[in-house]
Structure 1
Amino acid sequence: MKKAIPFLALVLLIAACNDSKKQSTESTDEMNNTENPLLAESTLPYGAPDFSKIKDENFKPAMLEGIEQQKKAVEEIANNKEEPTFENTVLALEKSSVLLDRATQVFYALTGANTNETLRAIETEMAPKFAAQKDMIYLNENLFNRFKTLYDKKETLNLDAESLKLLENYYEDFEIAGANLSAEDKEKLKSFNEKIATLTTKFGKTLLDANNAGAVIFTNKEDLAGVDEDFLKTKESEDGKGWSIPLQNTTQQPLLQSMENRASREKLFKAAWHRADHGEYDTREIIKELVEVRAQKAKLLGFNNYAEWSLQKTMAKTPENVNKFFSGLIPAATAKAQTEADEIQQMIKAKGQDFTLEPWDWNYYAEMVRKEKYDLDENQIKPYFELKNVLEKGVFYAAEKLYGITYKPRTDIPTYHEDVMVYELFEEDGEPLGLFYADYYARPSKSGGAWMSNFVTQSKLYNKKPVIYNVCNYPKPAEGEPALLTYDEVETMFHEFGHALHGFFADQEYPSLSGTAVARDFVEFPSQFNENWALYPEILKNYALHYKTGEPIPQELIDKIKNSGTFNQGYSLTENLAASNLDMQWHTIAADKQIEDVNAFEKEALNTTNLDVVHAVPPRYRSTYFSHIFAGGYAAGYYSYSWTEMLHHDAYNWFETHGGLTRENGQRFRDMILSRGNTLNLEKMYKDWRGSEPKIEPMLKARGLK
């Protein structure tokens, strides 16, 4: 599963300060020295950020002013002498963060996709302030009492369904955040939250440096035999004496599939494996401290471990349910992985080699097995997957067939980088839907992975339509060359646009319930589901066109892609389950347990769950570079990728038995799932649409495990 979660979408967009007077003066002074476009709503279409005016120095004063405005609003709500009402309490809090949201949504977009030293310094400085602001709201006793008064009599308030959900959502957030703690314990909790915010920011910063510094230098062209020549052109040093191969944020590296030189494969793999466990890029001490503070926080809040606390508003609910879910997958996954390993070992022998399969050999020889079994060569299919064709004639075309939406390129909207494309989307009747930004090429200033988030969130309250961006990390082609994608990258594009559709179809009154503001083990469902249309015959024949001749992809190649669909699935699922298990093991540590050695803990965590039985299958993310859980919003939540995979296969099974890709089916899915945001119980939402509880069998079948 190549979809790195859109972690920026999970960044807390509520913030505060401990020394309001000092910060207020600081923010005023800084704003007086610059004309700050973030302080007022943008005049561009849809309120899109005006990157022709926004400068790095605008962010800090805008965010500090947003902090101050929200703090003032919260104090007024909490100290209001009037009886609490929905309007003067719930709605007032919902409206308190307009400026802060506007500034932080743009800020975190850039820190993820196009950062620099200035932005990184601001990010580090602001992290504890954001944590303090959240505490200022959710640990405010007077404010909580007003919400509790309303919650206790909610049945008599005559609220519409969404307003009632907003009240319930806030109340649950107060309780989860620690509103019922004593004053003394609240102070301890504030200290924990500030520390966690600082450490997660530090982890992300250190890992980005580690990824960039970990690039592997090759000076001998023979060491890179098998690697695509066009790719090498983009990585050649200015003096022409070497090639710098950057690291992706996963354990396995894309080039390992094509590198013929075994020593080079080992060198690249080990550089990725050890990137963050030495010298100034060592993240292990950060991990030890972070999991310890998280465990202490959970204990203070009355839970046995951090996962118990974190899973409260998810579909899974408890670590036990997650582990039960794992137990239904691990035996089948590892058994299939062992069968695949045996096949690869036989291929190594057939090629006249005499060595034991290692992780750095897997992708190279697995590709040989795939070619032999399915006669499928990735280089045969890439010419049919030109990036813009995939987007416009594939991703957008599928959305048109399912949901009726159309698009128009917008070259008049300023962007934060020259590689970013902008499109305006429209409803079937021509009604404007929103703006979509596509940022697909890798660069050193961009975090690894792929994600979606909003510049502007849909909201009827503010009469806002969504402005959404997708970010990926595809290799940028040499000047004048086409951007040709692997099929895996094609699926990633469909995946991230699935997130975008979830945001575009949002139909909520309140921004905090809008679109993708759902539990982590549901948010990946619409995106994974959207991958299914990449190979759907009607869609595929429309976009899979040879970039030189315009000829459609031959049926022979289509059949090969489909036939190889279950290939290597034992490996794929096992590496993901290994990462998911690591996450859960780190976050079920009790507060009184001391971790001495990160690597030893990792080894034991995989051993106790039998996820290390196939030596050549490492976890997709090793702890030291597991940014989802130590720098993003997926702590105790990485399991959600597999959980939502179950949902998406079950959902596609419904489509298959109800006529497939039709406007009627698409509209029903939009109306009952994609447009609902966080306004309904997620289990009920799914069951109402599906007609039954989700079943795991379609997932096992799709993976070739059943």
Structure 2
Amino acid sequence: MQTPGAEAQNPFDAISELPYRLPPFERIENAHYGPAFERGMSEQLAEVEAIATDPEPPTFENTLVALERSGQLLQRVAAVFFNQASSDADDEIQAIQAEISPKLAAHSDAIHLDGRLFARIEALLPSAGDLDPESRRLVERYHLDFVRAGAGLTDGQQARLREINEELSALQTAFQNKLLNDTNATAVLVDDAAELDGLAADAVTAAAETARERGLDGQYVITLGLPSGQPVLTSLTNRALRERIHRASISRGAHGDENDTLPTAARIATLRAERAALFGHPDHATYVLEDSTAKTPAAVHDMLGKLTPAAVANAHAEAAKLQAAIGDEFELQAWDWAHYSDQVRRQTYDIDAAQLRPYFELDRVLRDGVFYAAGKLYGLSFTERTDLVAYHPDARVFEVFDEDGSGLGLFVGDFFTRDSKRGGAWMNSFVEQSELLGTKPVVINNLNIVKPPAGEPALLTFDEVNTMFHEFGHALHGLFSDVTYPTFSGTNVLRDFVEFPSQVNEMWAVWPEVLANYAVHHETGEPLPQELVQRLLDSQLWGEGFATTEYLAATLLDLAWHEIAPGTVVEDPLAFEAAALEQAGVALESVPPRYRTSYFAHVFSGGYSAGYYSYIWSEVLDADTVEWFKDNGGLLRANGDHFRRELLSRGGSIDSMLAFRNFRGRDPQIEPLLVRRGLTH
């Protein structure tokens, strides 16, 4: 429903006058989105029409630079809307998303399937060698994008492609919204506080607060994170409750009701296979990987084949140790793994995950950990801008400064979970850096940390600390962008390269100087004891069998869905999933995939279809890079400047693997990853 005057007062119509073009969130209402999208699409189509019908011969300036400048209103509204759809959605936002997503798919096709535009781009190829390297790469990138979008197909093929793209867009939105709704509905309700034995006091209070917010005073609600494994399973002593939580987690989206995502996922896979066939490919995975550093599914399977047997063997060995800890009382099940793994870790390394949390207070981790490392390595400084309003009260805005005091951009941190936010953690951009457009970056990190009651500290698990460093690695990739064209800005790199810089940034979470600076008890001010630090580092290999196997199971499941032949219709998605895991050798009952089909948002509503392998593919580069930092003295400005200059600042303006070689001095080696994950035996 549009409010009176929303059209005339639409805040998206003009470039924001706020610092760094931060969107004017205090003026944005849901009613503004629809009109802004419609006007944005209309404006860009008019701009594209002018380019396509330009009577002058095609030049780099009148064709590609003009295309890079087009669609700025559409970009402004899309950046804000899709962040809100992920991090603060309501019924109205979901309805708008369901309506607008197919229209945006059709809009993209209208541009990429315009034969006049494609002819102008093709005409630029012969003279591209005369351009500077980034401009030459832009010509090549545009040509490849248009070809991969269907510009070279016949009229009949293009007509079917448009239908497929519109339906896929609608289905992917439906998957996201159904999963969010079912995740909220599947949260576990607990009546008796005694059942929460083992859970930290602040976590119990948070569960009570969540229940109160849902009108369930006197009860407790355990909300579910996106992966199969739920953090509370580590500490809960009540086995029956652990089982309830685990079963709730792995059943999300598979209840056979209006929020059942399985038919949606199966239809998505079928349509993707049909689309790949239009391009002459045997399956969707082949189509996707053609434009990646891996290049082919065979290359991915080859790498996974080197990892899977050792990972599964390690998982079996870990399971045997857990069963020994349990004894003869019962047989180890998936809902027991985290709890007894923590017990074995405590017994073996004398370390308890719960005893670490008081040392990891959120604001301290952020300012004295994440920001501190960025200061030491890159010379950055951060000032919280309480005068700048974000889209939600929980989201905080920081201005980022380079060492010379010049403003680099804005960083927005939205750390707490809520019913309106999808699961997981991610980075988005509200504004992307571009010399052409005169823009500096405004980036955002979203996490899903349980929000404590008012006045209480937010204490993190070590995994959450690691996630905070990881996502800030993506933020740095966006903040350090130094390119001319928005197409190449920040994290606009090949899909299986994008996780690499963020994974590298995780290393600073345990770097002694950084850890000592932020790991301080929130009550006593005492530093994390050095012996505890050492035991934490020593214990990191424990559990790698489980972690690697659950990840590989999800990766291989993703590939199975996207290697189906065109024309395949999967009638029973759960049977398909079971067969795929069995065939891949990762069907361990006590180690479910990190994501099962029904809540595999990365591939059915995100951008990782046939690409979930990217995390471990990128980790090869990451582990090799960590070795480089260690060999060259670690947390030094010279090292940070080299990494920033050769890799982080380049975005997609240079071939990804060339950027790595320019940084590392050679091609990547897999051995550091094998050592890190305990796969050398």
How would you bin the TM-score normalised by the shorter chain?
over 0.9
Name the amino acid aligned to 2:271: V
Tell me, yes or no, if the aligned pair for 1:387 and 1:483 is still in contact at 8 Å.
yes
Report what 1:17 is aligned to.
none
Contact 2:267–2:569 (CA<8 Å) still a contact in 1?
no
Q: How many residues align?
A: 674
Shift of 1:686: 0.7
Contact in 1 for aligned 2:427/2:475 (Cα 8 Å): yes
Match of 1:303 in 2: 281
**In the TM superposition, what is the alpha-carbon distance from 1:241 to its structure 2 partner?**
3.3
Tell me by how many angstroms 1:33 deviates: 4.3
**SS at structure 2 position matched to 1:280:** coil
- Over 3 Å counting, the alpha-carbon distance change for 1:315 and 1:624 in structure 2 is same
Determine whether 1:324 maps to 2:308: no
Deviation of 1:122 after TM superposition, in Å, equals 0.7
Which residue among 531, 535, 538 is the counterpart of 1:560? Answer: 535
Q: Cα deviations across residues 497-522 of structure 1 (Å, max 9, x unaligned)? A: 00000001000111111110001111
Q: Give the secondary-structure state (helix, strand or coil) at the position aligned to 1:646.
A: helix
Superposed, which structure 2 residues align to 1:191-206 within 5 Å?
Answer: 191-206=163-178
Report the residue type matching 1:522 in the other structure. Answer: F
Paired residue for 1:425? 400
Match of 1:270, SS state, is helix
CA contact (8 A) 1:423 1:436 kept: yes
Match of 1:390 in 2: 365
How far apart in 2 are the matches of 1:75 and 1:30? Answer: 32
Could you tell me which of 277, 286, 292 is aligned with 2:270? Answer: 292
Structure 2 distance, partners of 1:560, 1:382, is 15
Q: Does 1:440 align with 2:440?
A: no
Distance 1:30 1:309, change over 3 A: farther
* Per-residue deviation, residues 579-635 of structure 1 (Å, max 9, x unmatched): 0101011001001322121011101111111111x3311100000100000001111
Query: CA separation in 1, counterparts of 2:94 and 2:118?
Result: 34
**Aligned pair 1:369/2:344, yes or no?**
yes
Note the 1:591-630 alignment, pairs <5 A. Answer: 591-612=566-587, 614-630=588-604
- How far apart, in 1, do the equivalents of 2:304 and 2:97 lie? 36
1:522-556 deviation line (CA, Å, top 9, x unaligned): 11000000000011011111111111122211101
What is the CA–CA distance in structure 1 between the aligned matches of 2:224 and 2:370, rounded to whole Å?
28
1:399 lines up with 2:374 in the alignment: yes
Q: Secondary structure at the match of 1:439?
A: strand
Q: Is the 8 A contact 2:7 2:35 kept in 1?
A: no
* Partner SS, residue 65 of structure 2: helix
Tell me which amino acid in the other structure corresponds to 2:58: P
Q: Which deviates the most, 664-673 or 70-79? A: 70-79
Q: Secondary structure at the match of 2:408?
A: strand
- 2:212 maps to 1:261: no
User: Deviation of residue 636 (structure 1)?
Assistant: 0.6
Aligned residue for 1:227? Answer: 199
Are 1:207 and 2:185 counterparts?
no
The answer to whether the Cα contact below 8 Å between 1:31 and 1:61 also exists between their aligned partners in 2 is no
3-state DSSP of counterpart to 1:328: helix
For 1:245 and 1:550, locate their aligned partners in 2 and report how far apart those are by CA, in whole Å.
Answer: 30
In 1, are the aligned partners of 2:368 and 2:518 still within 8 Å (CA)? Answer: yes
**Structure 1 residue matching 2:46: 3-state secondary structure:** helix
Deviates more, 1:230-239 or 1:531-540: 230-239
The reply to whether residue 140 of structure 1 matches residue 114 of structure 2 is yes
The structure 1 residue matched to 2:99, chosen from 116, 125, 135, is: 125
One-letter amino acid matched to 1:643 = W
Q: Which amino acid aligns with 1:625?
A: Y
Matched with 1:18 is none
Counterparts of 1:406-421 in structure 2, within 5 Å, are 406-421=381-396
Unpaired stretches in structure 1, ≥5 consecutive residues = 1-25
| Alignment partners' CA distance in 2, 1:629 and 1:53 | 34
Residue by residue, what CA displacement relative to the aligned partner does 1:311-360 show, whole Å, maximum 9, x if unpaired?
A: 122111111111111101101111111110000000000xxx52111101
Residue 637 of structure 2 corresponds to 663
Question: What displacement does 1:672 show?
Answer: 0.3
CA distance in 1, matches of 2:456, 2:46: 54
**2:50 maps to 1:73:** no
Secondary structure in 1 matching 2:501: helix
Q: Partners in 2 of 1:83 and 1:452 — Cα distance?
A: 40
Provide the rounded CA distance (Å) in 2 between the counterparts of 1:49 and 1:95.
19
Is this contact kept in 2: 1:231–1:478, CA < 8 A?
no
CA shift for structure 1 position 32: 6.8
> CA, structure 1 residues 99+33, in 2 after alignment: closer, same or farther (shift >3 Å)?
closer
| Equivalent residue number for residue 358 of structure 1 | 333
Cα distance, 1:34 vs structure 2: 4.0
Given that 2:198 and 2:235 are in contact with CA atoms closer than 8 Å, whether structure 1 keeps it comes out as: yes
Change (3 A) 1:31 1:526: farther
Query: Hey, what's the Cα distance between the residues in 1 that align with 2:447 and 2:368?
Result: 18
> Equivalents in 2 of 1:267, 1:378: separation in Å?
22
Task: Return structure 1 stretches of 4+ with deviation > 3 angstroms.
Answer: 29-34, 237-241
Amino acid at match of 1:99: L
Hey, what does 2:222 align to over in structure 1? 245
133, 137, 142: which one aligns with 1:170 = 142
Contact 2:200 2:354 in 1 (8 A): no
Instruction: Tell me what 1:503 maps to.
Output: 478
How far residue 230 of structure 1 moved from its aligned partner, in angstroms, is 1.8
- Percent of pairs identical after alignment? 45
> What secondary structure, in the 3-state scheme, does the structure 1 residue paired with 2:181 have?
helix
Residue of structure 1 equivalent to 2:657: 683
Query: Take 1:704 and 1:329, find their aligned partners in 2: how far apart are those partners?
Result: 10
What amino acid is the match of 1:304? P
Letter in 1 for 2:648: L
CA distance in 2 between counterparts of 1:487 and 1:457 reads 31
SS in structure 1 of the partner of residue 496 of structure 2: helix
Give the C-alpha shift of residue 30 in structure 1.
8.3
Q: Partner residue of 1:705? A: 679
Task: For residue 217 of structure 1, give the secondary structure of its aligned residue in structure 2.
Answer: strand
Q: Aligned pair 1:581/2:556, yes or no? A: yes
Supply the AA of the counterpart residue of 1:286. Answer: T
2:460 aligned counterpart, secondary structure: coil
Q: Is the Cα–Cα contact under 8 Å of residues 524 and 644 in structure 1 kept in the other structure?
A: yes
Could you say which residue in structure 2 is the equivalent of 1:539?
514
**SS at structure 2 position matched to 1:179:** coil
SS in 2 for 1:521: coil
Give the Cα separation in 2 of the matches to 1:313 and 1:329: 24
Taking the TM superposition and a 5 Å limit, the aligned residue runs for 1:80-119 are 80-119=54-93
| Aligned 8 A contact 2:307 2:679 in 1 | no
Q: 3-state SS of the aligned residue for 1:153?
A: helix
- Contact map agreement 1:646 1:695 (CA 8 A) in 2: yes
Contact map agreement 2:365 2:519 (CA 8 A) in 1? yes
What secondary structure does 1:422 align onto? Answer: strand
Task: Decide whether the 8 Å contact of 1:30 with 1:61 is kept in 2.
Answer: no
Partner of 2:324: 346
Which whole-Å CA distance do the structure 1 matches of 2:487 and 2:161 have between them? 24
The residue aligned with 2:17 is 43
Rounded Cα–Cα distance in structure 2 between residues aligned with 1:33 and 1:461: 29
Compare 589-598 and 171-180 and name the one that shifted more: 589-598
CA contact (8 A) 2:6 2:31 kept: no
SS at match of 1:473: strand
Per-residue deviation at 1:651? 0.4
